């Protein structure tokens, strides 16, 4: 089924560990983005990309790295996890006009202990 696939769905990390959250889409969307969702804060943009090789920071980029080597994949890396990064992470993609809206993945629930 076409859409945005995120893995893993759940993850527990110890403080200081690193990990990569995976995001893949098969709709040939040029725009991909990562959000974090925290209670009472809505969704906040971490990083985004408008095409392979092009990335930029969103509202809350500190502690996260991204790269975009292909159109399909947009992984999010936590270099040294902190308890403040405990959150639900969503990946989203969009086509060139946005007319059909943004498609969201099912999310990754990350707990840092």
Partner 1 sequence: AQSVSQHNHHVILSEAASLELGCNYSYGGTVNLFWYVQYPGQHLQLLLKYFSGDPLVKGIKGFEAEFIKSKFSFNLRKPSVQWSDTAEYFCAVNPSGAGSYQLTFGKGTKLSVIP
Q: Give 18 or 26: the residue with its C-beta nearer to partner 1.
A: 26
Number of CB atoms found within 10 A of residue 1's CB: 4
Residues 32-71 vs partner 1: string with x where CB under 8 A?
-x-x----xxxxxx--x-x-------x-------------
Angstrom distance (rounded) from CA 37 to CA 26: 24
Per CB under 8 A, 31 contacts partner 1: yes
Pairing mode, if any, of strands 76-78 and 87-94? Answer: unpaired
Closest by alpha carbon to 80, among 34, 22, 8, 15? 15
Residues near partner 1 (CB under 8 A) are 31, 33, 35, 40-45, 48, 50, 58, 90, 92, 94, 98-99, 101-102, 104-107
């Amino acid at each position: 089924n076409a859409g945005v696939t995120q893995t893993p769905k759940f993850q527990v990390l110890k403080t200081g560990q690193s990990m990569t959250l995976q995001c893949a889409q098969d709709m040939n969307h040029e725009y991909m983005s990562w959000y974090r969702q925290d209670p009472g804060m809505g969704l906040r943009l971490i990083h985004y990309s408008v095409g392979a090789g092009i990335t930029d920071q969103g509202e809350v980029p500190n502690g996260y790295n991204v790269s975009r080597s292909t159109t399909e994949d947009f992984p999010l890396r936590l270099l040294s996890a902190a308890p403040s990064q405990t959150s639900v992470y969503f990946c989203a993609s969009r086509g060139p006009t946005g007319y059909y809206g943004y498609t969201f993945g099912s999310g990754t629930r990350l707990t840092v202990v």
